[in-house]
A and B are shown apart, each in its own frame.
Chain A
Amino acid sequence: MGFWITQSLNSLALGGLLFTLSAGFSLIFGLMRIANLSHGAYFMLGAYIGLTLLRTGMNFWLAMLLAGAAMAIFGALIERFVLRRLAGRTLSQVLATLGIAFMIADACLWIWSGDPMPLPGPASLEGAVPVLGARFPLYRLAVIAVAAVIYAGLLLVVERTRIGAMIRAGVDDLDMARAVGIPVKTLFTAVFALGAGLAGVGGVIAGPILSVYPGLDADMLPLALVVVILGGVGSLTGAAIGSVVIGFIYTFGQALLPDLAYVILFLPMVLVLVARPRGLFGRVTT
């Protein structure tokens, strides 16, 4: 019984991590149709910035927000000066976002050296607590909670605010949204900034678990893609459910089918996509 409880909690925690990673990607792709292949690099850079801030003794949550803000500004600049001129041109976007990812990855190696570094989590969340008869790290429970808060917050923004309405309109029909007078250009920059900021926040939140090291970006990007595709692009709830599903597949798959460990995510993904090319909850034809 303990096995199922612990692994389920592991799945939820991993799902929470994946959600903070992929929510931004889903938003950006859903609205702007840009597959932001620098997303993993933003995640990693956010973690490195968070690490530097945390080393000054700053409060964890403040460092997380500041790192997210820094990545949001960075993302806005990239969108405004590089990606904006590439509207609708998939291949150019691929080249640009991968080129930026290369630059960020090498710059991080240069600035922070290649040594792997764990991020110190908040001291109040250290250690394990008993949960339904099993011992589980308190920090991972916090990750589940934070991911849920982020999800609720984003949902609130998207469903209840004017800017959210504009985003939804843009996701549904971009041309009509323009015709109706929505300031699409500014909206794009804002959403891209939000997506990049979320990635940065995700990097800091994941830091105490994953650490930060060169190659983190390349490890994380496929996971973000898998979650978004599975859950369906353009749907925040899809990304949330996709994250949890992937969390479960990954965790239980590694435990029950260890021989398939290297392909545990990609096999189900191929099966789902072949059966339902739009993903489980897709609202957008890709």
Chain B
Amino acid sequence: MVTRLFSLVVSAAATAALLLPPEVAAQGEPIRVGFLTVKSGALAAGGRQMEEGITLFLKQRNNTLAGRKVELFVADTAGQPAVTKSKAQELVERDKVQVIIGPLAAFEALAIDDFIRQVKVPIISPSAAAEDLTQRKPNPWFVRAVGTSAQASHPLADYAAKTLGYKRIATIGDDFAFGHETVAGFQRAFEDAGGKIVQKLWSPLNVADYGTYISQLKGDVDAVFVSFAGANGPRFLKQYRAYGVKTPILANMTAVDEGVLKNMGDEALGVISSGWYSAATDNPANKAFVEAVNKAYSADPGYYTVGAYASGLMLERALEAVHGRIEDKDAFMKALRSAVIDNDPRGTIRLDEYGNPVMNVYIRKVERRGGKLVNAVVKTYPNVSQFWTYDPKQFLASPVYSRDYPPAKNLE
């Protein structure tokens, strides 16, 4: 009698469980978040900062977002596209992650673009800035927490022409896609504002020595715009100063990023750069963020740390919008794309229709405050999009920014 009652109850419960929608049944399970970063090789410093950003984010929230526990799966791509793909497969096929944050580099993002389209897993990039990822080749499952390569170059060019009154500028940049795009954006906006780019130099990514390039830079220019990533910014600036060149330097965001600034010296003083973040930005969210990062890692946050942290904030917003039901992929993706993040350390962030953030761009100047070097904010350009003041349709109709586009017509 008892056994029959028991089996009746069990089968009733089983039937009920089968009838429940799977999302509700899964609510008790943790959300699985994949994290693609670089932990070995030349890009490892940025990768470490990214990991610090996301780890801090989750720790502050006790690993709980929208009422559900979060499990983070960290994967090391070694900075190689083939390994990035393999790790993405590991996260999706083996670890069954429901959303990926990463990867670090643009070429890694491109290597997994087809895969992401195939498996339909939402991906939030905390650092890959390649223009076409949110322009001519947008992936419906891809959004990013950072801007395009040129998004911060346009305002800096505007500042250089209108506020600083520069007329003639020489540029030098890393000879790869990120460098090409950053310089192209600067060139276009600067020349549209009445200036002239009179010299464009490109140095290989792994160049041993910048001496030959520094000696080629024209002397009769108002400023030199530099675009460097990784170790190259500090290396170039130190050598530049050693030659006693007095021409002012305008820099892209990563050349004097907080991540490398902390090991630099007087050679960085006075460098004016632009970016969507500065550790010196004066708003409550950022003050709390910088304090937390300093407490945990004894350093100011920079490009990579804030990128990963902001990706976490974006994820949190989207999850809250779908009440934690990440299993409903389409709803979650929609929530991700329409998220408005008002507690971002960079100010309020919203995504445009291509999945790229519209955000403030800060013109920064390297100063010494309290014994350490900081990117002091001298001007804010509010709500800058990836298209600057250009019409998006026209922007997209022209070729993507590259080494030769827009063509440099004023070279001497």
Contact = CB atoms under 8 A, between A and B. Distances in A.
Contact of B209 (A14, A136, A139): A14
Contact of B45 (A7, A106, A214, A262): A214
Contacts of B244: 127-128, 135, 137
Contacts of B235: 116, 118, 210-211, 213
Contact of A6 (B44, B215, B238): B215
Contact of B262 (A115, A126, A127): A115
Interface stretch (B61-69, B134-142, B197-205): B197-205
B208 A137 contact: no
Interface residues of B, number: 39
B40 interface: yes
Given A109-B40, A126-B242, A135-B244, A211 B212 contact: no
A116 B243 contact: no
Interface of B: 40-48, 175, 201-204, 206-209, 211-213, 215-216, 230-231, 234-235, 238-239, 242-245, 259-260, 262-265
Given A14-B209, A126-B242, A136-B243, A118 B234 contact: yes
B242 A140 contact: yes
A258 B44 CA distance: 29
Contact of B211 (A140, A211, A215, A223): A140
A258 B201 contact: yes
A262 B44 contact: no
28 contacts: A3-B215, A10-B209, A14-B211, A17-B208, A109-B44, A113-B45, A114-B42, A114-B43, A114-B47, A116-B231, A116-B260, A118-B235, A118-B264, A120-B265, A137-B239, A140-B242, A210-B208, A211-B234, A213-B230, A213-B235, A215-B206, A223-B208, A251-B211, A252-B212, A254-B207, A258-B201, A262-B175, A262-B204
B45 A114 contact: yes
A159 interface: no
B41 A13 contact: no
Interface string A56-88: 000000000000000000000000000000000
A177 to B, nearest CB: 36
Given A113-B48, A128-B243, 8 more contacts: A17-B209, A114-B43, A116-B45, A116-B260, A139-B242, A219-B208, A251-B212, A255-B213
A209 B202 contact: no
B259 A7 contact: no
Closest 10 CB pairs of A and B: A116-B231, A128-B244, A114-B45, A215-B42, A114-B44, A213-B231, A137-B242, A10-B211, A251-B212, A6-B215
Contacts of A7: 212, 215
A269 to B, nearest CB: 15
Given A118-B234, A127-B244, A214 B212 contact: no
Nearest to A208: B238
A141 to B, nearest CB: 11
Contact of A118 (B202, B207, B238): B238
A258 B202 contact: yes
Contact of A116 (B242, B245, B263, B265): B263
Contacts of B45: 113-116, 214
Nearest to A264: B204
Contacts of B213: 254-255
A261 B203 contact: yes
A6, A219, A254 pick with most chain B CB within 10 angstroms: A254
A115 B260 contact: yes
Interface in A186-229: 208-211, 213-215, 218-220, 223
Best-buried of B203, B239, B265 by chain A (most CB within 10 Å): B239
Contact of A115 (B212, B243, B259): B259
Contact of A261 (B43, B175, B243): B175
A251 B242 CA distance: 17
Contacts of A106: 40
Given A106-B40, A114-B45, A128-B242, A13 B231 contact: no
A117 interface: yes
A261 B263 contact: no
A103 B240 CA distance: 33
A214 B242 CA distance: 23
A262 B231 CA distance: 18
